[in-house]
Structure 1
Amino acid sequence: MAESLAAMAAQTGTALAGLTVMFAMFQNYFPCELRNIIMECYEKLVNFVYPYIQITFPEFQGDGFRRSKAYSAIERYLNSNSTKQAKRLQAYVFDDCDAVVLSVANNEEVTDEFKGIKVWWTSSEHSPNKQSISFWPREDEKKYFRLTFYRKYRHRITAEYIKHVMEEGKAITVQERRRKLCTNKAGGGASGTGCGSRGGGIWSEVVFEHPATFATLAMDPIRKEQIVKDLMYFSKSEDYYKNVGKAWKRGYLLYGPPGTGKSTMIAAMANLLQYDVFDLELTAVENNTELRKLLINTTSKSIIVIEDIDCSIDVTAKRDDEDEEEDEEDAEQKNSVNEEKKKKKKKRSKVTLSGLLNTIDGLWSACPGERIIVFTTNHVEKLDKALIRRGRMDEHIELSYCGFEAFKILAKNYLEVDSHELFAKIRQLLNETEMSPADVADKLMRKSDGEDADGNLMRLIKALEEVQEKKKAAKLEEKEKIREMRVAIKL
């Protein structure tokens, strides 16, 4: 037996050596045209007798901008149905849970069966030549799934099985979906994918677990109800938006002093609609092209947030003009300052106002699925009118200082009291002073186990009285300055 195996191995080695010599002669002595004709005939012959058909599903579509929905659905389907039979798996552990998530490793083959038809799936990744220069934006991320099946089942696989995989993958995604809070990476056009990232590494994500709801949101109840109705109507209006010829999106401008609940409002929106939140940091976006990539790689049922829009980039033409005039006027006196400004401008994001407008309201905004775009600002007067006009920012929501109705919600949340003898005094002080809901909440929050509602309410009253005294002192100081100016003018 051993001798026969050794003889067989020797014969196989001799045959391989002979084939190697023949291939070398073929490469060296046959003309290029003849080699091409022979290889073409060989490929046709192989295709004629080869009993299989292969379909490849790349991770990214042809433009390299957007992750393929087919790839994502197949990934979900295989992770759910094929990890039990795969011999090599990739394991991930997320921060939000102790469970280990398994997926099929690269170059691992798994089988599946559909109505008695056997198919093979392979997860692969293209390994580029690191010594070559490539202009493909995702050259090191060309992952793909390859489906192999018998030629005779072509129609049933293409017409039924692939549709089945897509539907199952989408259903698994919905079932396992955990809402995410995503933020863009600096230089988001850079490559790199992995667990816990979306859009090929453009977005980094964590589980969204903010507890805010409209029930706990401290604001006028009537205005709150209007906002909830508007959000719910939007989420159910796909057909309406299609009929009127508009992208299924809605813009909200939240403005008001710091601490008035703008970020909390966004969290309440996300929890109401069960949407993901994409926190877009414009200062980390290099240019308009990257901004479009970020938008394309957001998912449907999401809220795209740009907080402090007036501070993120120079989005007001007025402010840009003033900066340029000031630079020209002070060029001779402030050379060192101007040099520093030039250095900062080189590092500054090249996202333009027109680029931002086209992204949120132009052709690129018509991504499939519903989306809400939210801008927040402390200084609405600084924003360009084109940025916040109706149609872009459909709802303008002012979040102001704490009123008595908002206070009652906070008292219910923090102290579990609906009424109290001190409420009348607090109502009077709130009408005469300006304190943000965040500051009111801080005074109401229990700092130790021994505190009761009376003590917390008295602490709030004391704080309001201090604000009131400071306001009176500021008015007296202002009156004194005016009086001194009038005296100086008379003299």
Structure 2
Amino acid sequence: MWGMGENNYWTAIGTSLGSLMFFYTLIERFFPHGFVRQYVEKYWQRILRFTNRYIQITIDEYTGELVDQKNQSYTFADAYLSAVAIQRALQLKAYTPKNSNKLVLNMVDYEMTIPDEYHGVTFWWMLSNTNEIGKPRKVDTSRSLTLTFHKKYRHFVTEKYLDHVMEKGKEVLAQNQQRKLYTNSSRDNWYKQEMWSHVVFNHPATLDNLAMDKAKKEDIMEDLIAFRKAKAYYAKIGKAWKRGYLLYGPPGTGKSTMIAAISEFMNYDIYDLELKSVRGGNSELRKLLLDTSDRSIIVIEDIDCSIALTDKRKSKKKTSSKKKKSYEQRLAEIRGDKDVTLSGLLNFIDGLWSSTGGEKLIIFTTNHVEKLDPALIRRGRMDKHIELAYCSFDGFKILAKNYLNIDDHPLFETIRHMIDEARITPADVAENLMPKTINGGDCSEVCLGKLITALEKSKEDAIRLEAEKLLEEEEESEEEEEDEDF
């Protein structure tokens, strides 16, 4: 590892150490054990310290005593060494990421040595995997990077070189970063190596092409920009650097698309947390939180349907559903599953455990905001409530530009007068504006005509539903009056 010029030196050292081991065995045999421990081992350690001219620093992939947490120092060092390995490593692995034509070279995932030179000093890095070959890697037996250097450079390493590695690693990650979409692995998939699995996230949605009111969109963008620049402010006021968003509204109003657009705007990864897959209860939920990276979005979609978090969600079940529930309960007991509780989720959002890491967005979505426990969505947990309502005229114009590439049309005025009363979702508007053929010439007249027809029908449906609602309220009122008279 250190070159052929030092082979003779190490051969002599090896011979000397072998002789010392021989004499150590004799001493241990003929002298009391306490004497060996008190005197011989003390001088043995001094001899080893004197003869060893090199120091090693190990950076583990995971760290933590009570829980296993991803070590960001490892992430930065790994990114730095990936760039170094392309030029200097003797063994590399090559792969092509999904949805990419670029060939990526990286270090192999077993022991190897990479030399690195900084300010005229040579260092050696070794990547090790402590897990046995052929067995799934666990968190507590993961990879580590070991830095070896001459002991005379101790202060140079701790004061300059490691800082250089961390900064360059951050730059490499920023340059090559691909947004990722993570999902938590079910405990049924015991063979999975990580708590989160991911795919490359290339969703085309942006805040610019999002169909919503212009003023509301600008307010969201300003809020996100302020959050991104607020590290010092959050530290000053004593709060964790995170922000909660509640997206609510009818189905089809673009809640999932909004999350994708925020991810693109902030260049954050997304962690799509499926609560029903968290079978270790609140303890596993905390571990999932600790295993998320900074500059990320933690998403729980349809929070009102993900898990029964409040008594308001309880309702009477039919006999068949009771049988199914009983079967699920028995299966959960066999597997030793534990429930995620409301208090556990609240602690996940803004409790002590939520203060780990920084620059995180937590986003909940729901179609029925009235069903959520007020403690879950109060300000300070879900700091900003964003209603994604039915399509407005501003939203329609954005969709018309996106789908038909038009900014104005004589039929726009007709649509302006109809769209607010029609109560139509952006998804329905987009479906009507979608041309049947992509390269079939100008079809804006036909598509806008389809939309007007859909708006007329939607308006009629809205009137009918309103009439039915009023009729139901009148019938309920009459029943209450009859009960009072009785």
The question of a shared fold, defined as TM-score above 0.5 by the shorter chain, is answered with yes
Aligned with 1:415 (options 404, 407, 426): 404
Does the CA-based 8 Å contact 1:188-1:290 persist in structure 2? no
Q: 1:304 to 1:335 in 2, by over 3 A?
A: closer
Aligned with 2:97 (options 80, 94, 99): 94
Which residue of 2 is the match for residue 138 of structure 1?
Answer: 139
Does the CA-based 8 Å contact 2:423-2:462 persist in structure 1? no
Which residue of 1 is the match for residue 243 of structure 2?
Answer: 250
Q: Which amino acid aligns with 2:388?
A: L
Distance in 2, Cα, partners of 1:91 & 1:129? 20
Q: Which amino acid aligns with 1:274?
A: N
3-state SS, counterpart of residue 84 of structure 1: helix
Which residue of 1 is the match for residue 178 of structure 2?
Answer: 178
Q: CA deviation at 1:379?
A: 0.5
3-state SS, counterpart of residue 79 of structure 1: helix
Is the deviation greater in 184-193 or in 246-255? 184-193
Does the CA-based 8 Å contact 2:185-2:192 persist in structure 1? no
Is the deviation greater in 98-107 or in 158-167? 98-107
Distance in 1, Cα, partners of 2:473 & 2:325? 37
Q: 1:188 to 1:137 in 2, by over 3 A?
A: farther
Q: 1:243 to 1:139 in 2, by over 3 A?
A: closer
Q: CA deviation at 1:440?
A: 0.9
Q: CA deviation at 1:341?
A: 5.8
Alignment of 1:78 onto 2:81: yes
Does the CA-based 8 Å contact 1:278-1:302 persist in structure 2? yes
Q: 1:30 to 1:123 in 2, by over 3 A?
A: farther
Aligned residues: 455
Q: CA deviation at 1:152?
A: 2.1
Distance in 2, Cα, partners of 1:281 & 1:307? 8
Q: 1:369 to 1:139 in 2, by over 3 A?
A: closer
Is the deviation greater in 263-272 or in 355-364? 263-272
**How does the TM-score come out when normalised to structure 2?**
0.82
Which residue of 2 is the match for residue 226 of structure 1?
Answer: 219
Q: CA deviation at 1:235?
A: 1.2
3-state SS, counterpart of residue 88 of structure 2: coil
Which residue of 2 is the match for residue 309 of structure 1?
Answer: 303
Distance in 2, Cα, partners of 1:47 & 1:280? 49
Q: Which amino acid aligns with 2:124?
A: W
Q: After superposition, give the CA deviation of every residue in 1:275-294 in whole Å (9 maximum; x if it has no partner).
A: 22221111111221221122
Which residue of 2 is the match for residue 50 of structure 1?
Answer: 52
Q: After superposition, give the CA deviation of every residue in 1:123-179 in whole Å (9 maximum; x if it has no partner).
A: 112247999xxxx973432x2122222222222222222222222222222222222
Which residue of 2 is the match for residue 271 of structure 1?
Answer: 264
Q: Which amino acid aligns with 1:314?
A: A
Q: CA deviation at 1:354?
A: 0.6
Distance in 2, Cα, partners of 1:254 & 1:413? 23
Does the CA-based 8 Å contact 1:444-1:456 persist in structure 2? yes
CA RMSD of aligned residues (A): 3.7
Is the deviation greater in 463-472 or in 170-179? 463-472
Which residue of 2 is the match for residue 112 of structure 1?
Answer: 116
3-state SS, counterpart of residue 82 of structure 1: helix
Q: 1:444 to 1:336 in 2, by over 3 A?
A: closer
3-state SS, counterpart of residue 87 of structure 2: coil
Distance in 2, Cα, partners of 1:484 & 1:147? 78
> How much identity, in percent, do the aligned residues show?
44
Structure 2 matches for 1:376-415, cutoff 5 A? 376-415=365-404
Q: After superposition, give the CA deviation of every residue in 1:285-344 in whole Å (9 maximum; x if it has no partner).
A: 12212211221222222111111001111122433xx46xx58xx99x997466346337
3-state SS, counterpart of residue 93 of structure 2: strand
Q: After superposition, give the CA deviation of every residue in 1:196-217 in whole Å (9 maximum; x if it has no partner).
A: xxxxx22222222112122211
What are structure 2's unaligned runs of at least 5 residues?
1-17
Which residue of 2 is the match for residue 293 of structure 1?
Answer: 287
Aligned with 1:466 (options 451, 454, 457): 457
Which residue of 1 is the match for residue 72 of structure 2?
Answer: 69
**How does the TM-score come out when normalised to structure 1?**
0.82
Distance in 2, Cα, partners of 1:110 & 1:481? 75
Does the CA-based 8 Å contact 1:57-1:71 persist in structure 2? yes
Distance in 1, Cα, partners of 2:353 & 2:189? 17
Does the CA-based 8 Å contact 2:294-2:360 persist in structure 1? yes
Which residue of 2 is the match for residue 343 of structure 1?
Answer: 330
Is the deviation greater in 354-363 or in 425-434? 425-434
Distance in 2, Cα, partners of 1:386 & 1:18? 71
Which residue of 1 is the match for residue 11 of structure 2?
Answer: none
